[in-house]
Amino acid sequence: MRSRRGLFKLWIGVALIAAGVGCSGKRTSDETPAAASPEMGTKVNQYSTYRLATDLSVLADKERQMLPLLIDAAREMDALFWEQAYGNRDSLLAALGDPAMRRFAEINYGPWDRLDDNAPFVPGVGPKPPGATFYPRDMTREEFEAAAAADETLRDQYTVVRRDAAGKLVAVPYHQVYASRLARAADLLRQAAALAEDAGLRRYLELRADALLTSDYRPSDMAWMDMKSNTIDIVIGPIENYEDALFNYKTAFEAYVLVKDQEWSQRLARYAQFLPALQRGLPVPEAYKKETPGSDADLNAYDAIYYAGDCNAGSKTIAINLPNDEQVQLAKGTRRLQLKNAMRAKFDAILLPIAGVLVAEDQRQHVTFDAFFANTMFHEVAHGLGIKNTIDGRDTVRRALREQFSALEEGKADVLGLYMVTELHRQGEVPNAKIEDFYVTFMAGIFRSVRFGASSAHGRANMTRFNFFQEMGAFTRDEASGTYRCDFAKMNEAVAALSSKILMLEGDGNYEAAAEFTNRMGVVSPALQKDLDRLGSAGIPVDIVFEQGKEVLGL
C-alpha cells in the first residue's frame, strides 16, 4: 500500500483539482505540494526509454521540410487527448511537486496508471471516470440511453455530450468543442500539403485538414486508402474508441508521424491478396462470413518518428489497422502499418527477457523477432476478417456490442491472426519459418501484453485468449520450473474453437453474451499474477517510453 506520510498537502491540492476534472480545470490551491513517495521512481522505471529516430537520408528535401509541420500538428493532438482523457494538463502537472510523479502523470496522460487497471497514483484523485470527459460526470447510463433514443447524434463518435441550460443532454461536435487547436492543426497540414510532391499524400493532407474542421472524416479516409507511393505519412485525428470505457462510442485524438521502410514493405505487400480466401475458410457458418473484405487493403512497414495522444498513453502501439469506418473497410479494405522500430524496441527490451523467465527452456529458441513481427502483422490483417454488420442486418457490430466491442474485436484479431499464419504456413506462403516459432512467440507475447492489466480492451482480449487456450490444454504450466509451454498438437483446435466463439458473438451482436464471456474469461488468475510478478522482480520493463521530437531528429 502507498504510504501517505508527507503527502497530506499534496492530497489537499490534487483532491481539489480532481473535483473539477472535466469542468473548469483551474487550480484551486497555490500551495506547492510535498514530495511523493519513492514508489513513483520505481513506477517510472517500469518504462524502458527508446530514442525514436530513423534514417532520414531516404527523404527528398521537401519531405524533410514537411516533417516539422507534421510533428507540430501531432502535438496539437497530444494536447487535445489530454483534454479528453483528464481535463487541464497544466493544472495537474503544476500541482505535483515530485518530479517522478509528474513524469508518471505525463506518461499516463493523467493521474491513473494505465498499466495497473487505471489505479490512481495521485492521492485523493479517485477512480478514473469510465466516460473520461466525453460525458457529464453526473450522467447515468440510463439517462443517456433514454436521451439517445430520441437524439441519435448523442452516439456520434465525433461529438461530446454536454448539458444545455435546461439540463438536457446535447451533442456538441468536436470541431466546435476543440475549434482553436483543430484550426492550428489543419493549417499545419495544409502547409505540409503545399510541400508534398506525391499527389496522393497532398490530397490526403488537404482532405484531412478539412475533416478536422468539419468532423467529416470519410473522404480523407478514402484518400488515405488511395495513397500508394508516399514515403512519409501521418495518421492524425480522433480515431480509436478505447478511452470511452462507458459506451465505446467516442473517439480519442492521436497522431503518428511515419517514414516508410520500402524494403520491408515490399515483403509484406503480397499477403493482402489472401484475405478473400481466408475469409471463406473461417470456421463458422456462412452467415458469419458473408461479407467480402475490401480488395484494396495493403501492408507496409514504417519507422515511427513521433507518437502523440491516445497511442502514446501508457503502453505504446506497435501496429495500426485503419480506417475504422466500416463503410470504408467494405469499399477499400484497410491499411496495416507495422511500426518496425517500436516493435524491435519491445522485442529486445521486453519480450526476450520475459521468455527467459516464463517460457520452457527447450521452447525459448522459438521466440524470434520475425515471428513477433508476423504475429503482430497478421493480428492487424485479421481485423479485416469476419463481418462488420450483425447477421440480422439491424446494426454494425461495433454499435451492437457497445463497450464490449473493443475487447472482443481485439480478441478476434489475436486469434484470427494465428489462424491466418497457420493457414498460410500450411500453404507454403510463409517461407523460411517454423510454425512452432509463431506459436511460442504468440504465447510469450501474451505474457508481455497481460502485464498491462485487464482493464484495457487489449488486456481483456489477451486474458480471454490465454485462459481459453489454457482450458483447452494448448498452454500448459510446469509446476517445478514455473514455466509455460505450447502443446503444438492442441493449438489448431484451440484456434478454431476461439475463432468460432468470437466470430459468432460478433455476428449475433449479442451484448449480454459478449459481456458474460469477456467478464468471465478476461481476468488475470492469482496463479498467473504470481508468475507475472516474477517479471517485475527480474527488473524487466513493462513497456517503453519515447525520447522523440524535432530535436531528436535534428530538424
pLDDT tens column, 482-506: 999 999 999 989 999 999 999 999 9
* CATH 3.30.540.30 domain span(s) along the chain: 179-553
How far is it, in rounded angstroms, from Cα 322 to Cα 302? Answer: 15
Q: What is the DSSP string of 31-73?
A: SPPPP--THHHHHHTTEEEEE----GGGS-HHHHHHHHHHHHH
How far is it, in rounded angstroms, from Cα 111 to Cα 216? Answer: 32
280, exposed or middle or buried, with CB in 10 Å at 0-12, 13-18, 19+? exposed
Cβ–Cβ under 8 Å, residues 160 and 177: yes
Cell reading at 120: 490512481
CATH of 179-553, one of 3.20.20.60, 3.30.365.10, 3.30.540.30, 3.40.50.970: 3.30.540.30
Q: Model pTM? A: 0.79
On the question of pLDDT at 529 being above 60, the answer is yes
Bridge partners of residue 254, in order along the sequence: 237, 309
How far is it, in rounded angstroms, from Cα 216 to Cα 175? Answer: 10
Q: What is the per-residue pLDDT for 429?
A: 87
Q: What is the DSSP string of 12-28?
A: HHHHHHHTTTTTT---S
295 pLDDT tier (thresholds 50, 70, 90) = low
How far is it, in rounded angstroms, from Cα 544 to Cα 316? Answer: 7
Q: Where are the beta strands (DSSP E) in 352-461?
A: none
pLDDT tens digits, 432-442: 789 999 999 99
pLDDT tens digits, 433-471: 899 999 999 999 999 888 766 656 677 888 888 999 999
Q: Where are the beta strands (DSSP E) in 285-407?
A: 298-309, 319-322, 335-339
How far is it, in rounded angstroms, from Cα 236 to Cα 188? Answer: 12
Most confident of 293-307, 418-432, 433-447: 433-447
Cβ–Cβ under 8 Å, residues 444 and 358: yes
Cβ–Cβ under 8 Å, residues 351 and 253: no
Most confident of 8-22, 32-46, 322-336, 541-555: 541-555
Spell 431-440 as b/e; 16+ CB within 10 A means b. eeeebebbbb
